[in-house]
Amino acid sequence: MAYLSLLLSAFIAATLLPSSSELMLSAMVVKGGLSLPLLWLSATFGNVLGSCVNYALGTQVTRFADRKWFPVSAKGMARAQRQFNRFGVYSLLFAWLPVVGDPLTLIGGVFRVRFSLFLLLVSIGKGARYLLVILMALGLEEFL
């Protein structure tokens, strides 16, 4: 049940909803008694899955670009496209960053990044982040 809870927390954290799966993962590591590889896998899988939801939403968002209520103008979309092209598809490696990460995954869908490349880059970035969280939590455990 702990692994599923972590997976769900990581999933929610990857969507545009606020959540912090890092705290839950850290607490589980410090508490001990759970498999570190399974904790890492649960957090990474849940977070990547949430990013895939953002990607899917991004592929559909431009259908509404001609509506008056659409929050981004055509000029704004062109500017976003230039910025994304400037930093390249490899900016998706930073999808784990707070504040900018979730919108990056949405933009990946808007600009139709090849899904297999999206999945690879996002998985690498998020997997590395959760590995770092585990290593930091293990370091904290020594001080407690």
pTM attached to this predicted model? 0.86
How far CA 80 is from CA of 72, 92, 106, 128, 135, in Å, comes to 10, 14, 12, 27, 35
The pLDDT value recorded for residue 45 is 98
Least trusted range by pLDDT, from 78-82, 95-99, 110-114, 124-128: 78-82
Highest mean pLDDT among 15-29, 54-68, 72-86, 116-130: 116-130
pLDDT in tens, 87-113: 889 999 999 988 788 888 988 999 899
The domain spans of the chain are 2-143
d(CA 28, CA 41): 13
Q: Which residue has the higher pLDDT, 73 or 111?
A: 111
